[in-house]
Each structure stands twice: as structure tokens, then as C-alpha cells.
Structure 1
Amino acid sequence: MLGMERRQKIVDLIQKDRKIYVSKLSHLFDVTEETIRRDLEKLEIENKLTRTYGGAVLTQHTNEDLPFPKRESINRELKQKIALKAAELINDGDTIMMDTSSTCLELMEALQDKKGLTIITNSIKIPYNFVNSNFNIISTGGTLRAHSLALVGPVAHDTLQNYYVDMAVMSCKGLSLDKGIMESNEPESELKKSMVKQAEKFILLADHTKFNKTAFIKFCDFFDINYIITDCAPSENWLELFIKFNIQIIY
């Protein structure tokens, strides 16, 4: 295999998995680890990845706003596990505001045995996918961001102001110890702020790849959060912060 072809396959892998390891790539392509390191060095110069100890991670810009189909395919198994944990916190008859995240879409699948749920959302994917379900689904209406299948703007905000719910459930683009909870674009960030204000409890769904990441705009502080559900144990400094803000961490 030519080096150019191998590097393109490496780019394809890191786009899918967000993180790659030198040892695994060496075995996969049957070349030395030094060859893989040279490949990663060239790809870093091209700004396609960022090298780390033992591998590399996908280079991301703070305002990178991935289209929904691509977000839906990333870390799907982790999102499904998180969704199953989140479903345990939701009872029959609850009222819930949900964002347009792919993790919330997985949560909807996990909630289908629940009875009497009311879901208020700015997603167009949720009403479409669950049109024949037993959920009572209320759409915010608003202006469509086709890129993310999200409804935003004044109409969506006005709708949210009419309701007070048991919980807001959503994901984010990144969590930073000193910057808070962040999103990649302002219109959806503003909707998330409104959802948090209208909810008795806030449940944040975030797999481990979201931790220690900075995104474009902050939409809430840690004191706003009641639960964080993730896929593995966070580091000690994160656990200390969760204790400080009385956040229950579930993984």
C-alpha cells in the first residue's frame, strides 16, 4: 500500500473514531510503528489530526459544527449505553425538554416502554422518527437549521417559555473545568439555555470524548447541572468538581 493511500485510510479512521493508536495502526497496516509516526507527523502538518502520546486525536475547531448524520454515526455504541442509563432516571408521566443531539435520539429509543411521557423538542428528527409512538411530542417550531436538523429562533424560544418541565435532557460539544459547558453554535446554544431555565432538573449526556474540550460558546455552568451521565469514570479532578457542585455522576 502506498503511503498516500495509507494516510487517507488513517484520516478515515480518525474521522470515525476521533482517536487512533500507533500500535493498532502498525498492526492494521503491517508496517513499523516508526512508519506510522511519520504518517501522523505529516497529517498533523496538514492540520488533519493532533498527535498525542501513543497516537493522535482528531483536530477540532471550537466552532466546528458537524452535520447531524455524521454526529449520529460517531461513538454510537457509547451513546446507546448512556441512553440506557438516562432512561433509568425517567418515570412514567414525566415532562421532558430535549435538544437535537444524537444521544437524545438514542434516549428516545430507550424510553419506548415508558408511559405518558411528554417530550418538548426543537429537533425535527424526533417527531419524524417517533410519529407512531405513544409519546406526546410537542415541537417548538421555529427556523430550521438544516445542517443539524434543529429548530431555532424567536418562535422556538417563545414556545419554550410556555412550559415548565420535570427535566431538561441534552448533550453538548464540550466540557471544560474552567469554562463550563459549551456548544459549537450560538442559535442552538440559546435554545439550550432556555431549556435549562424551564426545567426542574438538568441531565447532561456526554461521552468521555466531550471532557476537557473547548467549544465556541458557553451555554451553562456546572451549578445548573443535577446529573451527568457518561460512559466511563472521569479523572479525579472532574470527580472533585462534581462533588463541589453537588452533581451526581453516572457511568
Structure 2
Amino acid sequence: MQKRDQLILQYVNQKGKVSVAELSEMLSVAVETIRRDLTALENKGLLHRIHGAAVTCKTNDLGSSFQYRQKNNADAKKAIAQNALEYLFEGAIVGLDASSTSWHFAQMLPDIPCTVVTNSMHNITALTNKSNITTIATGGMYSVKYDAFYGPLSEQLLKRLHIDFGIFSCNGIDNEGNIWESNELNASVKRKMMDVCDKKFLLADTSKLQRKNLIKLAELAQIDILFIDQFPSEDLQRYCQEHNVLITV
């Protein structure tokens, strides 16, 4: 068992991300055995579990800290969040990811009866004194860098919920309509939240346009409304028109 653990860690650290199926085949053991091994290694803080795979602790955390993102393009993010607030209604169930743009949205939320689901401690803190808002924290593995929760526990809770609309941000949007993230942990939780949202709103300032990053989060065709501070390129506008994605500036 100890030798197999060492081989798993060595392989995961070498490749950055390895699927359960690949480890099962490489080590000639059952998939369930690999899942138990990965859970034990995650509990020791030696790797991170994501859906169907494992990610090394050494390379998965490639994003910028919340403090940096909070200050970057703050005015544009506030304006975009303000536009998205127009879709809030009394009794709404709102999903907020752990982005700085979602934090601006949480800061601006009026104290009306509604429910907010989030994995971000910054969002939770922003809502603390709003007594009419019910806040549901996903729980899970805590990241100091992002001040947010990730991992299987967060994702399991999200699978059991229904959300009226979700507020999401990203690290990049290319002209082909692909949405990009900087690391798998963020991407995995965002995908789970997207899956349970009736409406998905992407909030992105123009610094995110014509950019790619490490992980493909989703396709813009999956988004209902793109909130942005300036109109994107003609190619991206055409893509949005073809896929019924509303652009709000």
C-alpha cells in the first residue's frame, strides 16, 4: 500500500493531473482501490481530488490571489456587477463563485429576502449584516490563497441544489467562444454550480477578452448573458448572436 501511494504521488506530481482510470491501468488495481488511495492521500494534504482525477498540490494553484484580483480593474467590475443586479428578484436563489467580480455583486446586493449559495468566504463576509439574505456556504477544502472552499464536499452539496441564476467570472474568453480558467479546482466547482443554475451570467471586463489560460471552463454558448464593460470583437459578437447569448454593456 505504501509503495503504491508513493507511485501515485510521483506520477501525479510529474504530470500535474492524472485520471483515476489512468492510475488504475498503470498500477493494475481496481478503480475503487485507486479512489480510496486518492482519498487517503488528499486527507493527508498530499494531493487534491477532482471529478475522475487527481491534481498535484505543486502546480494546481496557478491563479492570482483574491487580494490582487480585488484591486485589478475594480471600477469595471463594479459597473458590470451593477448591471447584473437588475436581474435580482425577491425570493431568488443566487449562486456566486469565488471571483472578485462576484464579491462586488455581493457587496451591492440589497438586503431583500433571497438566498445566496457560495464557496467564497469573502462573499459570506460581505453578506453578514444583511439579515434578509440567507447564505449557504458550500463547505469543503479551504484555500487560504483564494479564501474559498473547493473539492468533493463542495461539489456534492452543489449537486443537490437548485439555483435560479449564477454569477460567474473567468480568466479569459477567446474569439472562438471558449471560456478559460487558471486552475482545475476553480473550474471544477464552477462547472458544478453552472450545472444547477437555470440561468448563467458571465461577468467579464475587457481585459479577459482574446485570452486563453490553462483550463477550458466551458463554452460561451452555455451562458445566457455576457455582462461586459465594452463590446467585444465582431467575431465574438457574431458567435453570441448565433448561440443566443445576450451581451449587456
TM-score by length of 1: 0.72
What is the aligned partner in structure 1 of residue 178 from structure 2? 180
Gap regions ≥5 residues in structure 2: 1-60
In 2, the alpha carbon distance for the partners of 1:198 and 1:242 equals 22
In structure 2, what residue type is equivalent to 1:125? Answer: H
Q: CA deviation at 1:177?
A: 2.3
For 2:71, the equivalent position in structure 1 comes to 73
Unaligned runs of 5+ in 1: 1-62
2: distance between equivalents of 1:178 and 1:84?
27
Structure 1 position 82 matched with structure 2 position 85: no
Helix, strand or coil at the partner of 1:77: helix
1:84–1:107 Cα contact (<8 Å) kept: yes
Give distance in 2, aligned partners of 1:71 and 1:188.
14
- What is the distance in 2 between the residues matched to 1:210 and 1:64? 16
Please report the TM-score for the alignment, with normalisation by the length of structure 2: 0.73
Q: 2:114 aligns with which of 113, 117, 140?
A: 117
- Residues 69-124 of structure 1: per-residue CA shift (max 9 Å, x gap): 011000101011001100011211110111011111111122224x2111000101
Matches within 5 A, 1:158-237: 158-178=156-176, 180-237=178-235
In structure 2, how many angstroms separate the alpha carbons of the residues matched to 1:147 and 1:85? Answer: 28
Cα shift at 1:178: 2.8
Structure 2 CA distance for aligned equivalents of residues 179 and 204 of structure 1: 12
Contact 1:97–1:165, Cα closer than 8 Å, also in 2? yes
Give secondary structure in 2 for the equivalent of 1:79: helix
Alignment counterpart, residue 130 of structure 1, candidates 92, 103, 127: 127
Partner residue of 2:94 out of 92, 96, 114: 96
CA–CA distance in structure 1, aligned partners of residues 180 and 229 of structure 2: 19
Q: Does the CA contact (< 8 Å) of 1:150 and 1:188 recur in 2?
A: no
Aligned partner of 2:247 in structure 1 is 249
Structure 1 segments, 4+ long, off by >6 Å, are: none
Cα deviation, residue 145, structure 1? 1.4
What do you get for the CA RMSD once the two structures are aligned?
A: 1.3
Query: Could you say what secondary structure the match of 1:203 adopts?
Result: strand
Equivalent pairs: percent with the same residue?
29
